[in-house]
Chains A and B, each alone.
Chain A
Amino acid sequence: MRLTIGLLFLGLSILAKAQETFPQNGASDKDLIMHAFTHCKVHVDWETTIDDATLLIHHGKVVACGQDILIPKGAVVEDLTGLEVYPGFIDLNSSYGMPKVERAPWDPKPQMESLTKGAFGWNQATKPEYDAAHNFVHDADAAKAYREKGFGAVLTHRKDGIIRGTGTVVTLGSNEHLNVILENASANYSFRKGSSRQKYPSSLMGSIALLRQSYYDLDWYYSASDIRETNLSLSAWKSQMDLPQFFDTGNKWDVLRADKIGDEFNTQYIFFGNGDEYQRIADIAATQGALVIPIDYPAAYDVSDPFLARMVGLDELMHWENASRNIAYLVDANIPFAVTSEGTKDAKEFFANLRKAMDHGVDESTLLKALTFTPATLVRAENVLGKLSAGMQANMILCSGPIFEEGTEIYENWIQGERFVLKDRKALDLSGNYNFTLESTMYELKVKGKRGENKGSIQLIDSESGDTTTVDVTINADRDQVNMKFSLKDSHYDGMLRLAGTIHMSSTIWDGKGQAPDGSWFDWVAVKQGIEPSANVDTDEDENGGEEEDISTAQDYEIVYPFMAYGRSHLPEAQTILIRNATIWTCEPEGILEKAELLIRDGKIAAVGRDLNLNLLFPKEVIEPIVIDAKGKHISPGIIDEHSHIAVTRGVNEGSQASSAEVQIGTALNPEDINIYRQLAGGVTCSQLLHGSANPIGGQSALIKLRWGATAEEMLVENAAPFIKFALGENVKQSNWGDYNTVRFPQTRMGVEQVYYDLFLQAAEYDAVWTEYRESLLKITRKQRRQGYEPEAPRRDLELETLAQILRGERFVTCHSYRQDEINMLMHVADSMGFRLNTFTHILEGYKVADKMAKHGAGASSFSDWWAYKYEVRDAIPYNGALLHEQGIVTAFNSDDVEMARRLNQEAAKAVKYGGVSEEEALKFVTLNPAKLLHVDDRMGSIKVGKDADFVIWSDNPLSIYAQVEQTYIDGRCYYSKSADEQQRKAILTERSRLIQKMMNADEKGAKRKPSPKQVRHYHCDSEFDESND
């Protein structure tokens, strides 16, 4: 690729005059004349400045720049004394000049296949074949807006789809043929499917799976010998692999998500960020990726209506206050970054926001680097753009002073030697007081205002009364020509006077002719009285927003994790704790221990029992625990929710196909879901996050501990047994989805069975091919190896691979199920295919086939008492749990509901009420039994020495309606305590009030934003959701 750049560069330098290949109409312009700018301060690059420099440009490029440059004869020389020259800025996040993305009209019927015509890939959201350079068209209005912000070039691409095709670097001049300076400059990606209405993918996790599968397909397409298909998408994509790879993200978590994909495929993406990176700066830095960040800081909300203001979340208030610190955080963390103007509405906002970053200690050269050198380097155009040294494109900005300083004017933005005037730099500063003589009468003329925007006034003093009146004078000055009009009423004139004339000697003297109200002509002259009001006084007072911004660097703000209500500046630490006098529900054969003790150490349960003797237990160590007297309190293991959908973002169902085994819930976690904290307060320590139930084979599950404040990766339970969600019944056959969803197979229970057989047979065959391949690898002889022989790898298919794991017993199934017939059916499928169904979840008619389930070896995770919400749960009974339990089935109760998960202990108590399960056994329905179902009972689910210190301190018997959680521990760390929660409530109120006051005082220009709180979205199994609509 570097070669291409070089060639392109060479080509342009020879053929500086564009369109050499084009026929000429009229005489030829050979572009002979060179331009020399003298006596200016040139910022050659972000770290180098030359005072009193000469800059030579010719054929759209810099010829030379320095102090002792000989100006060739026949050059146009422009004296830029007092001015500064900067390299033009580069914006990498742009779709400048790209055609508008059109979306097909909405059709209620699901679109199963791609509408893209031709030999392209199967999914409409992947379009690597899209070539930005081929589609680029100069857009005069958009270019002008960029130039006003100081930009000279952009990387532009079409923001549509998951694999988006190439980006091209173009300058912001007026001629496509000159402007495209780097034809193929980037490959671009996102998680959004964009204009595609094809059903797949319909979720974030689906987008991720699609992207991963595409990478594997690409590998295969170029390594397999026997390929039957032609796939133009893949061949186009292949050619982009050596380009810089840009990933457009939606928030800070997306950056981490994308980076993980990059790691899998040996790709370091450059991320289009979002301005919230400071909230997780260490994790962002750990990606080692460069960022392109926006500076479109959120505007203040209109919080004047206290009712409406409640809808503004604390996180939004906090972000409003701190968004301008983002750059300072990036600098501190040594993250390479470029700044994009995307999202800033005009030059004024753009520069004002850059200055806000400077208020937090960011210096000019850092910003300049982020607007020139870094973006140029990221698109490998550092030898073409971003500097003003010899050979570079003549993209340069002429301004009145330091470019980021308030009041500095940008006069001209030159693009490849093409001059674009933003403001007349030769406009005279007319302000001052003048002795203004009309014919022979003297007045005083006061002129105020900015260069080029002067306003005048005449003071009239009544000779008799001495009263002063002020007459406004309209002044129009164009270069050195001036005309004025005003109305006088005195002893000399009565009516409108019009004057025209010339300005001399840097506005010391003006003179000319005027026409009096009576039509007679007269001479006039204005002579400056001396230097009065300063030329550059900015009368625009709200430039600063009138805001008393704290000037502070990144470090002195304390970030809370997560960055929202109930976030904490420090995560809890694992402590050594001895809890005494508690009633401990061990969920072990020891049963319920009265007046017992529990010792927690290094995140594990170190001892449990009555009258623990620490010296005896730990003879070689001195244990000095924090002692908690839990008199009257109960301790239970942490509650484990076998079926949850909290902390999942942008879609819990990838229900677009009958099987979506390739999608992973773990790739779409949102660790900032308040329900994590709320459920901690209900004693939940571990949740299995399941795919929804929209299709027979759903996606891979994620098991998290509710480590509030951690990242998604940190919440995942280490070495958890892999699971996948299956589903049966009305949801998978789309019974309640309306009249249009009658297309996707299956639509009946009969079809559901066949989906399983078909896919498992495919998976078995797939597995056999891979087994054969692996064996052949082992059989390679030394000689073959020396000759470079290698057996050909089969295509990797993430879906079949996952199903094959089930067949091999390496992945467990949790199956959403209601009716006995289909439960029975699936057990037959599993038996015949040689695997065991681990868990039936919901399993509301499990009681009808409990004996068969026991025989098969399946566990059950049920609702305690839900029923009648659809036809298939008409026979659901609250005695289900008790009956299953009595048949020896490992039985759990789950939530599948954000609210119920807060009080699963109460649900467990319903096993006592309905069917008379003992209290001790009932508590296991939400602790040990789900731990068993999830294959984590070796470390969770009971109070046993050596297990994770995940437990709850209750105010009462945990099965009582009156029991409240006092403390919840995970890994020996106190993640929730009632007393700390009380403190946080107060802190939230204080912080919120402070921010609202500050927001009210923020006198920002323009309309403030209307409050728009985050969408509250609670997932259940049935939740269908289209990622593209988010």
Chain B
Amino acid sequence: MKKIASVIVLLGLVVSIGVQGQTAPSSAQTESILLLGGTAHLGTGDKIEGAAIGFENGKITFIGSEKNVDPASWDRVVATGGKHIYPGFIAPNSRLGLVEIGAVRATRDYNEVGTFKPHVRSAIAYNADSEITPTVRANGVLIGQITPAGGTISGTSSIMQFDAWNWEDALLVEDDGVHVNWPSVYHKHYDKGKISIEKIKSYDQQLQEIESFFTMSKAYCDYTGKQTDIRLEAMRGLFDGTKHLYVHAHDMKQITEAVSFKKRMGIKTMVIVGGRDSYLVADMLRDNAISVMVQCPHTVPRYEEDDIDLSFKLPKLLQDEGVLFCIENEARMSEINARNIPFLAGTAVSYGLTYEQGVMAVTLSTAKILGIDEFTGSIEMGKDATLFVSEGDALDMRGNDLTHAWIQGRDTDLDTRQKQLYRKYKAKYDAQK
């Protein structure tokens, strides 16, 4: 019944927003807001039952119990009793805003031509008016690392928040890291009608090229000449620690080689993205302080004899080994499926993580890996008020039902074009009755 009630509430909104068009970004927080009651999942691994969470000027200023707070001292009090409060979920390694319709070439902006293109930046191609992003936001995913793809060095990602007029507004961290697609060790081989996979003959050569590019980039840091190489310029941050190196790799051999590459090259921060085999080299990753954006748990295992639930339990395997990890969702149609990131965490909880660890895997851990945990990623004092309220358990399809979301304290519109279409046709059929 509650659902129907909320639908009616939404129907009420139709009038104010109008059927067509975009949801508008909100203006900066002016009044202080207190969320009173319910369960607050802080993202840190802790939770507060009967919570009171307050924020002013876009920052969290109060975390406590509903018993120890004076609602009267807040401009606006939102009753969240019986509901769940979460820090905004984060979509790392995402193409959101870089593609609108996967099959339509004109809308694809994530894969630039070339092999080594660290100078290619996702930030400026980010479409703040994408119709996909609001649908993702409506399920609690409020921040993303917008990431280019393709080639050996695919480009430079940026971290954006999902309530913005334009890419400039959206930026949380501009050019946070460079992405390397570690060369495949094996390739498909066709011979006399038979398909096999063999070690790529040029694998060593490709490694050599990567090494050579990084070596030049490192040398370029000390270059004092008058000319500029924009590719090498884009690599600079990897050596002074201002940029992370994201290595997209799945195979055990790829990961192992990447780790030794990091040491050899003096890379400050390396993150493995995907990491299908990361559980097999978990101790090595932990000992070298390399974190993992673990592949979409909703993926079939690579090998027939793998444990059938291997992808589901991969987060738990890394948790047990003490590896810092978060969940990413690269797969077919990952941009539209970013709205299912909460359920990826739910699956990880079903397969071993504690509930709060599951929340952490899409909030604070992600923020730590992205290097944004100083100001966002959890409900902690002084951090951005990027958080949402759900009627129920947001990691479960049945409970994920957002009533409010704030990004940096701005009250974010949860409407979507899909909801608008729903209302439009619902109204049509209701009228027929």
Segment of A5-13, A570-578, A580-588, A870-878 in the binding face: A870-878
With A307-B251, A883-B429 as contacts: A870 and B101 at CB distance below 8 Å: yes
Tell me if B425 and A906 are in contact (CB < 8 A): no
Segment of A321-329, A379-387, A674-682 in the binding face: A674-682
State whether the Cβ of A33 lies closer than 8 Å to any Cβ in chain B: no
With A681-B308, A879-B422 as contacts: A961 and B343 at CB distance below 8 Å: yes
Tell me if B398 and A959 are in contact (CB < 8 A): yes
Tell me if B196 and A1030 are in contact (CB < 8 A): no
CB contacts (< 8 Å) of A963 on chain B: these are 350
Segment of A161-169, A309-317, A493-501, A623-631 in the binding face: A309-317
Q: How distant is the Cα of A900 from the Cα of B297 in the complex, in angstroms?
A: 11
With A851-B432, A867-B336, A1030-B193 as contacts: A1016 and B298 at CB distance below 8 Å: no
Q: How distant is the Cα of A981 from the Cα of B308 in the complex, in angstroms?
A: 9
Q: How distant is the Cα of A314 from the Cα of B304 in the complex, in angstroms?
A: 8
Contact of A307 among B100, B252, B299, B346 (CB under 8 A): B252
Kindly supply a per-residue 1/0 record for chain A positions 871-909, scoring 1 wherever the CB is within 8 Å of any chain B CB and 0 otherwise.
100110111000100110000000000111011001001
Q: How distant is the Cα of A314 from the Cα of B432 in the complex, in angstroms?
A: 60
Contact residue range for chain B? 35 or more
What is the number of contacts between chain A and chain B, taking CB atoms within 8 Å?
165
Kindly supply a per-residue 1/0 record for chain A positions 955-986, scoring 1 wherever the CB is within 8 Å of any chain B CB and 0 otherwise.
00001111110000000000000000100010
Contact of A677 among B193, B308, B340 (CB under 8 A): B308
CB contacts (< 8 Å) of A883 on chain B: these are 422, 425-426, 429
CB contacts (< 8 Å) of B223 on chain A: these are none
Nearest-Cβ distance from residue A873 to partner chain B, whole angstroms: 8
Nearest-Cβ distance from residue B309 to partner chain A, whole angstroms: 8
Q: How distant is the Cα of A74 from the Cα of B95 in the complex, in angstroms?
A: 92
Q: Which of B383-407 contact A (CB under 8 A)?
A: 395-398, 400-401
State whether the Cβ of A850 lies closer than 8 Å to any Cβ in chain B: yes
State whether the Cβ of A919 lies closer than 8 Å to any Cβ in chain B: yes
CB contacts (< 8 Å) of B421 on chain A: these are 847, 875, 877, 879
Q: How distant is the Cα of A985 from the Cα of B303 in the complex, in angstroms?
A: 13
Q: Which of A492-551 contact B (CB under 8 A)?
A: none
With A865-B340, A871-B103, A961-B343 as contacts: A915 and B422 at CB distance below 8 Å: yes
Nearest-Cβ distance from residue B199 to partner chain A, whole angstroms: 7
CB contacts (< 8 Å) of B131 on chain A: these are 868
State whether the Cβ of A564 lies closer than 8 Å to any Cβ in chain B: yes
State whether the Cβ of B418 lies closer than 8 Å to any Cβ in chain A: yes
Q: Output the residue of B7, B104, B419 with the most chain A CB within 10 A.
A: B104
Segment of B12-20, B170-178, B183-191 in the binding face: B183-191
State whether the Cβ of A869 lies closer than 8 Å to any Cβ in chain B: yes
CB contacts (< 8 Å) of B400 on chain A: these are 913
State whether the Cβ of A813 lies closer than 8 Å to any Cβ in chain B: no
Q: Which of A1005-1030 contact B (CB under 8 A)?
A: 1010-1016, 1018, 1028-1030
Tell me if A1016 and B302 are in contact (CB < 8 A): yes
State whether the Cβ of A848 lies closer than 8 Å to any Cβ in chain B: yes
CB contacts (< 8 Å) of B335 on chain A: these are 868
Q: How distant is the Cα of A912 from the Cα of B298 in the complex, in angstroms?
A: 20
Nearest-Cβ distance from residue A1020 to partner chain B, whole angstroms: 8
With A870-B102, A870-B104 as contacts: A913 and B401 at CB distance below 8 Å: yes
Nearest-Cβ distance from residue A80 to partner chain B, whole angstroms: 42
State whether the Cβ of A369 lies closer than 8 Å to any Cβ in chain B: no
Contact of B429 among A566, A887, A962, A1011 (CB under 8 A): A887
Tell me if A1018 and B397 are in contact (CB < 8 A): no
Nearest-Cβ distance from residue B94 to partner chain A, whole angstroms: 14
CB contacts (< 8 Å) of B339 on chain A: these are 865
Q: How distant is the Cα of A1012 from the Cα of B194 in the complex, in angstroms?
A: 10
CB contacts (< 8 Å) of B298 on chain A: these are 899-900, 903
Nearest-Cβ distance from residue A769 to partner chain B, whole angstroms: 41
Q: Which of B413-431 contact A (CB under 8 A)?
A: 418-419, 421-422, 425-426, 429
State whether the Cβ of B333 lies closer than 8 Å to any Cβ in chain A: yes
State whether the Cβ of A916 lies closer than 8 Å to any Cβ in chain B: yes
Kindly supply a per-residue 1/0 record for chain A positions 654-668, scoring 1 wherever the CB is within 8 Å of any chain B CB and 0 otherwise.
000000000000000
State whether the Cβ of A222 lies closer than 8 Å to any Cβ in chain B: no
Contact of B304 among A315, A869, A878 (CB under 8 A): A315
Q: How distant is the Cα of A1015 from the Cα of B197 in the complex, in angstroms?
A: 8
Nearest-Cβ distance from residue A923 to partner chain B, whole angstroms: 12
Q: How distant is the Cα of A913 from the Cα of B402 in the complex, in angstroms?
A: 10
Contact of B189 among A847, A867, A1012 (CB under 8 A): A1012
CB contacts (< 8 Å) of A887 on chain B: these are 429
Tell me if A866 and B102 are in contact (CB < 8 A): no
Q: How distant is the Cα of A673 from the Cα of B188 in the complex, in angstroms?
A: 20
Kindly supply a per-residue 1/0 record for chain B positions 336-365, scoring 1 wherever the CB is within 8 Å of any chain A CB and 0 otherwise.
100110010011011100000000000000
Q: How distant is the Cα of A964 from the Cα of B7 in the complex, in angstroms?
A: 30
State whether the Cβ of B132 lies closer than 8 Å to any Cβ in chain A: yes
Nearest-Cβ distance from residue B387 to partner chain A, whole angstroms: 20
Across chains A and B, which 10 residue pairs bring their CB atoms closest together, nearest first? Answer: A1012-B196, A916-B3, A870-B103, A565-B305, A961-B346, A909-B397, A879-B422, A877-B418, A1015-B195, A307-B253
Interface contacts beyond A565-B304, A868-B102: sample of 20 additional A-B pairs, CB < 8 Å, sorted by A: A192-B193, A308-B199, A313-B305, A847-B422, A865-B339, A868-B333, A868-B336, A869-B336, A870-B104, A879-B418, A883-B425, A883-B426, A899-B298, A916-B6, A1010-B199, A1012-B194, A1013-B197, A1028-B193, A1029-B193, A1030-B193
Would you list 8 pairs from A and B whose C-beta atoms are within 8 A, ordered by A residue? A308-B199, A311-B186, A314-B304, A868-B335, A912-B397, A959-B397, A961-B395, A1011-B197
